[in-house]
């Protein structure tokens, strides 16, 4: 046990349908609103191909008609514009009670960026922020997107890091509404990188940045937590 550190349950899931993970997040948030003493949670998973739009995002950044599209599209309650999720992209959903950290959303966003930056540093790479934008870049390519929602200081949604995905799906959108900066992946800079390796590194970076003690719980069932 690490003295004075808050516990955070690490749930390593595999490929989870977006709507199932979305409902799961809401259930975790509801439980912590009802009982603020529950441990925090970090969910790590992948999604099948899906597009999501933030609350105030515009469909102008879609290069297809969502009303007649074959692609799965959801408008959700996070901030930010449209993004794309797919296999081999690592998605993290921290369910944290910010009353135990800092009740400051800008601070929280910068902490999530720090998690990604510290993770990428394990591979000898220097990722970075861009002023006035949210996310993480590596050699002019955006490798991680961040979008959050907070209810009564309980967080949901989170970050996505392109580890070794097929980036084709990003060609159908203007990712995060940024027209002049391409999307990239870690695999472009670290050949043979694997999602399993990055899972370990990102969990370690998360624990260090947020100063929590992770308790790992591995399961493939999002409906019985």
Active site residue 176: yes
The two tokens of residue 102 are: 């800092």
- Quick one: tokens of 170? 């990003």
Exactly one of 8, 86, 164, 176 is catalytic; which is it? 176
Helices (H) and strands (E) in the chain, counts: 3, 10
Instruction: Write b or e for each residue in 70-97: b if 16 or more Cβ atoms lie within 10 A of its Cβ, otherwise e.
Output: eebbeebebbbbbbbbbebbbbbbbbbb
Q: Residue 14, SS3? A: strand
Q: What sign has the CA pseudo-torsion 168, 135, 174, 42? A: positive
Give how far Cα 64 sits from Cα of 16, 26, 56, 68, 73, Å.
Answer: 24, 29, 18, 8, 11
What is d(CA 181, CA 189) in angstroms, rounded to the nearest whole number? 17
Contact assessment for residue 158 and residue 148, using Cβ atoms and an 8 Å cutoff: yes
Question: Which residues are known to be catalytic?
Answer: 176
């Amino acid at each position: 046990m690490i003295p004075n550190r808050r516990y955070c349950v690490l749930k390593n899931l595999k490929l989870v349908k977006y709507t199932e993970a979305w409902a799961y997040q809401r259930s975790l948030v509801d439980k912590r609103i009802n009982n603020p003493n529950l441990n925090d949670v970090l969910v790590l998973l992948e999604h099948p191909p899906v597009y999501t739009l933030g609350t105030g995002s515009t469909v102008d950044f879609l290069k297809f008609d969502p009303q007649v599209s074959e692609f799965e599209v959801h408008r959700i309650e996070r901030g930010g514009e449209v993004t794309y999720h797919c296999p081999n992209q690592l998605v993290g959903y921290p369910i944290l009670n910010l009353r135990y950290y800092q009740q400051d959303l800008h601070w929280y966003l910068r902490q999530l960026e720090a998690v990604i930056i510290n993770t990428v540093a394990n591979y000898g790479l220097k990722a970075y922020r861009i002023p006035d934008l949210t996310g993480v870049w590596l050699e002019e390519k955006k490798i991680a997107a961040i979008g959050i929602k907070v209810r009564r200081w309980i967080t949901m949604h989170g970050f996505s890091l392109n580890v070794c995905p097929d980036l084709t799906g990003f060609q159908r959108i203007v990712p995060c509404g940024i027209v002049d900066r391409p999307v990239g992946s870690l695999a472009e800079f670290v050949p043979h990188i694997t999602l399993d390796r990055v899972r370990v590194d990102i969990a370690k970076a998360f624990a260090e940045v947020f100063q929590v003690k992770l308790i790992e719980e591995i399961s493939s069932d999002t409906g019985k937590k």
